[in-house]
Amino acid sequence: MSGWKSKVAVVGGLGLAVLAFVSWSKKDPKPATPDAPGKSEVRPKDDADEVDGKDGKSPRTILGRVWLDKLPKKRTDEIDVWIFFGGGIGIEDKGSSYRSTLEVFELERQGAKLDVVFLHDAKKQTVKFAVKSCSDDPAFDLCLELDPPLKGVSKLRSWGDDDEMDKAMPWGRELRKAAEQRARSSKP
């Protein structure tokens, strides 16, 4: 019986992800919780999260955000979406509103380094990253630089808080919520 429930959760999570991605509604979403990802919070200082440079951000900034290679202009635009969750799991969704490929991976963040294991084929990769302010695309205010590139991706973009994301991508919160559900149901 629990195997059946697991399959239903996986299919349901995937369905939610697809629906969130397809729904391009222009409604004015409200934060799900007052401490939604993207809002600043006070945390104890951790040497592993130190950053160099004036525009560098804490490596923790990578977590819980929707990271994109570009902002889609229409539903058929293919984009690469990454979300890294603090619970040691992440999702890459590559494609358009109508067709996409979803990959779930485990991750361990140590400071500004990620150890990633893609669950489908057990491929492993270690990548260093930096979260910085960016101005190369006015739709975003954060850039994630990956070295070496993660599955061919060397730079992703996001927003400093959810309100900015809502203005540019009203379906972002639903996408993140559906991805989190999918990630939780896929955890081995």
Q: Which two tokens stand for residue 77?
A: 């635009």
Q: Model pTM greater than 0.75?
A: no
pLDDT at residue 78, as a whole number: 95
pLDDT at residue 186, as a whole number: 74
Considering the domain boundaries, does residue 115 fall inside one? yes
Contact indicator for 176, 159 with CB cutoff of 8 Å: no
Q: Strand, helix or coil at 27?
A: coil
- Residue 23, number of CB atoms within 10 A of its CB: 13
Considering the domain boundaries, does residue 157 fall inside one? yes
Q: Which two tokens stand for residue 34?
A: 């007052």
Considering the domain boundaries, does residue 126 fall inside one? yes
**CATH code where residue 99 lies:** 2.40.128
Three-state SS string over 43-71 comes to CCCCHHHCCCCCCECCHHHHECCCEECCC
d(CA 126, CA 103): 17
Considering the domain boundaries, does residue 27 fall inside one? no
Domain that holds residue 65: 46-165
Considering the domain boundaries, does residue 101 fall inside one? yes
Q: Which two tokens stand for residue 56?
A: 């560098």
Considering the domain boundaries, does residue 70 fall inside one? yes
**Domains identified in the chain, total number:** 1
* Torsion over CA: 122, 20, 97, 63 (sign): negative
pLDDT in tens, the chain (188 residues): 444 333 333 333 443 443 333 333 333 333 333 344 444 333 344 444 555 445 678 999 999 999 999 998 888 999 999 999 988 999 999 998 889 999 999 999 999 999 999 999 999 999 999 999 988 888 999 999 999 999 999 999 999 989 999 988 888 888 888 888 887 787 66
Contact indicator for 171, 24 with CB cutoff of 8 Å: yes
